Amino acid sequence: MKVYNFSAGPSVLPEEVLQTAAAQMCDWQGSGQSVMEMSHRSKTFEPIIQNTENLLRRLMHIPENYDVLFLQGGASTQFAMVPMNLKKGGKAAYVNTGVWSKKALAEAKKYLQAEEIASSQDKNFTYIPAVNKIEGDYDYAHITLNNTIMGTHWKHIPETGKGLDGKSIPLVSDISSCILSEPLDVSRFALLYAGAQKNLAPAGVTLVIIRKDLVTDNPIDGTPTMLQYKTHTENASMYNTPPCWNIYMMGLVLEWIEKNGGAAGMKERNEKKANLFYDYLDKSDFYFSPVEKNSRSLMNIPFLTREKDAEKAALLNKEFVSEAEKAGLVNLAGHRLVGGMRASLYNAMDIQGIHALIDFMEGFAKARA
């Protein structure tokens, strides 16, 4: 029996996508091969990667002057690739909205003067700082659009002023945990990256969308060939063997998104789920959301009990996670930095999962009233 999987990633995939993958496993469309067996340079695999890229371009309205890359190494590798490839004058602006932006900032500091221009650390990252415009002599500015651990999300995209070269400062964003959860104006960004294991595909492929003018011949000295964007733009993600199966799975997931209304359809679906859950939390006298209302993520929803005694609260959380698991609601433990619980409601999570979760929560609370 399938469980409801609230994992922050890798996470739930659409059931019909898994069924298609199983049905096509041994022989993809009469090719006599599994997708996992195909030479990446064969005419059998070519339409598969092309289909995935076409779907991404269509669903995200990616302008022609952007390259789409299928890389490896996760967002963590992008934390280094971004400064290594985008460094010019030697300064970059980072907004610190929690664990992942902190990691991006720390990695960037190896390569240039990375400045924390705003932070929400004062309130344990429970809100998005009011940054409307980023100005200064920066090579680029970096934000984490959705914060998987903290459960916050930027509701606006900051403007950027003119950089040293007279052009707008390129805006870079980690969109791992919100990609295609709602429409996004790609043209406002110079570079977007996302680990696939939340809304796109199984873990093992990293999506990069980069404006072509940012692809440089001159990354910093010592940048490994595999960490230069140019290596991959010049070879259409085929400089070496790409993660073919993961790219195929991404195509299947994107087809499912398209069939379900695209980014707008996902937004409607995700708002329904998140609103249902936030409403429940806000009305509850047992649970609550620690995140400010105007900064709340549609994807990742941390929640706590109102128990004030730290020891009792920790015990309660443990009981919650363990009993939820027995009820078929898995991966609800919160991140240790936030505590409590967290429900990730990615695109593929069905609204029935939220109803089941709320029913369980209600029962758990009543038994302790």
Nearest residue to 93 (alpha-carbon basis) of 78, 108, 115: 115
Q: Any idea what the Cα angle at residue 277 is, between residues 335 and 186, rounded to 5°? A: 75
Member of 195, 262, 334, 353 binding its own copies (CB under 8 A):
195
Q: Is 164 exposed, middle or buried (0-12, 13-18, 19+ CB in 10 A)?
A: middle
Q: Which is nearer to its own copies, 2 or 156 (CB)?
A: 2
Member of 49, 55, 69, 77 binding its own copies (CB under 8 A):
77
Catalytic residue status for 267:
no
Q: Which is nearer to its own copies, 127 or 360 (CB)?
A: 360
The backbone torsions φ and ψ at residue 182, rounded to the nearest 5 degrees and listed phi first, read -165, 165
Cβ 169 to its own copies, closest distance in Å?
A: 23
- What track of x and - describes contact with its own copies for positions 122 through 161 (by CB under 8 A)? ----------------------------------------
Task: Decide: is 89 part of the binding site for its own copies (CB under 8 A).
Answer: no
Q: How many residues bind its own copies (CB under 8 A)?
A: 68
Task: Decide: is 353 part of the binding site for its own copies (CB under 8 A).
Answer: no
Q: Any idea what the Cα angle at residue 195 is, between residues 189 and 200, rounded to 5°? A: 95
Cβ 228 to its own copies, closest distance in Å?
A: 11
Q: Which is nearer to its own copies, 246 or 295 (CB)?
A: 246
The backbone torsions φ and ψ at residue 114, rounded to the nearest 5 degrees and listed phi first, read -95, 120
Stretch that binds its own copies, among 11-19, 114-122, 148-156, 255-263 (CB under 8 A): 11-19
What is d(CA 352, CA 339) in angstroms, rounded to the nearest whole number?
25
Q: Under rule CB under 8 A, which residues in 228-287 are in contact with its own copies?
A: 239-246, 249
Burial 57-71 (b: 16+ CB within 10 A, else e): bebbebeeebbbbbb
The residue annotated as part of the active site, out of 67, 87, 100, 154, is 100
Beta bridge partners of 142: 94, 172
What is d(CA 337, CA 25) in angstroms, rounded to the nearest whole number?
40
Q: Which two tokens stand for residue 166?
A: 């007279």
Q: Which is nearer to its own copies, 60 or 205 (CB)?
A: 205
Task: Decide: is 11 part of the binding site for its own copies (CB under 8 A).
Answer: yes
What is d(CA 296, CA 334) in angstroms, rounded to the nearest whole number?
16
Task: Decide: is 15 part of the binding site for its own copies (CB under 8 A).
Answer: yes
Is residue 171 within 8 A of residue 164, CB to CB? The reply is no
Q: Which is nearer to its own copies, 24 or 124 (CB)?
A: 24
Catalytic residue status for 100:
yes
Using DSSP, state whether 155 is helix, strand or coil.
coil
To 10 degrees, the CA torsion angle through 316, 321, 325, 327? 50
Q: Under rule CB under 8 A, which residues in 293-352 are in contact with its own copies?
A: 328, 330-331
Centroid of chain to Cα 71: 15
- DSSP-derived secondary structure letter, 98: S
- What track of x and - describes contact with its own copies for positions 28 through 47 (by CB under 8 A)? ---xxxx-xxxxx-x-x---
Catalytic residue status for 174:
yes
Stretch that binds its own copies, among 12-20, 287-295, 298-306, 360-368 (CB under 8 A): 12-20
Is residue 101 within 8 A of residue 129, CB to CB? The reply is no
Q: Which two tokens stand for residue 137?
A: 């002599």
Q: Under rule CB under 8 A, which residues in 154-193 are in contact with its own copies?
A: none
Q: Find the helix or strand (DSSP H, E) in which 195 lies.
A: strand 191-195
Cβ 39 to its own copies, closest distance in Å?
A: 4
Active site members: 100, 174, 198
Residues at the interface with its own copies (CB under 8 A): 1-3, 5, 7-13, 15, 18-19, 21-23, 25-27, 31-34, 36-40, 42, 44, 72-77, 79-81, 84, 107, 110-111, 195, 197, 202-205, 220, 222, 224-227, 239-246, 249, 328, 330-331
